[in-house]
Amino acid sequence: MRETPSLLLVHGAWHGPWCWEKLTPELDARGIPWRTVALPCVGDDPKLLGGVAEDARAIEAAAGAIPGDVVVLAHSYGGIPTTEARFGANVKRLIYLGAFMPDAGQSLADLLPPGPLPPFVVDNGDGTTSVRPDLAVPTFYADCDPATAAWAVARLRHHNGICNVTKVSRAASWRDIPSSYILLTEDFACPTIVQRAVSRQADQVIEMTGCHSPFLSKPAELANVLSGIIEHMGSNGMRRSA
């Protein structure tokens, strides 16, 4: 019997491993092993924050430390360093969840419509960005219950702004490894229109109705989607033919 691969959960900008706390019990209930990784780009001290390269190395190290097969699940900005990362043979599939999925030579900013920073982003003047408190809920947690949304807003931290304009040097991760894209239909943080464009690069696209953070608003539904992807993986990770 094939052993269930482990999910490596990669958070996005301003967030941390805490954001998966409602999803992980649902994964446990479905027998899906999981690990999290904390990206160096998020924190409180601007002098200590890493960039895309450091985030990619953290993801690589976390995936390499997991015994057996691994599926990497990247949310939002987490898709940038996941694309940059160099994975070992144990990584069998990538899942982009409402995530930026660049090609080589593209940055996060390159994937957005041209113009100023989105209104929910605050430039702190020290190289970091943060989220406007009054726009955090409608941007990230619009379909969460009020208590969950408030809990999440209180945990947001600074993000290294250089990450948004750093171009990935490679896209061999999703070019060489089978990929799924979970497209969120009412997303304003990683706009749904952007998701529809980049998701064409994935081998499989699954639409999920809702906003940016289904791991908080619909953890059971998201766990079911993830379980379905994992259950249908073949020995090669399930690559769709062109």
Rounded-to-integer distance, Cα 122 and Cα 131, Å: 6
Q: What span, in angstroms and rounded, lies between the C-alpha atoms of 231 and 126?
A: 45
Q: Give the torsion sign (CA, 108, 230, 219, 55).
A: negative
Those residues whose C-beta lies under 8 Å from the C-beta of residue 45, and which sit 6 or more positions away, are none
**Selection from 171, 192, 162 nearest residue 76 by Cα:** 192
Domain 6-231: assigned CATH number: 3.40.50.1820
Structure-block tokens of residue 48 = 């200590």
Position 235 scores a pLDDT of 44
Angle between helical axes of 133-140 and 146-153 (0-180°, round to 10): 120
209 close to 186: Cβ distance less than 8 angstroms: yes
Q: Which pLDDT value is given to residue 115? A: 85
pLDDT for 242 equals: 31
Specify whether the CB–CB gap between 134 and 150 falls below 8 A.
no
Per-domain residue ranges for the chain? 6-231
Sheet architecture: strand order including 34-37:
34-37, 6-10, 70-75, 91-97, 179-184, 204-208
Could you say which residues of the chain have pLDDT below 50?
Answer: 1, 235-236, 239-242
The whole-number pLDDT of residue 114 equals 87
Q: Which residues are catalytic?
A: 76
What pLDDT, on a 0 to 100 scale, did the predictor assign at position 116? Answer: 86
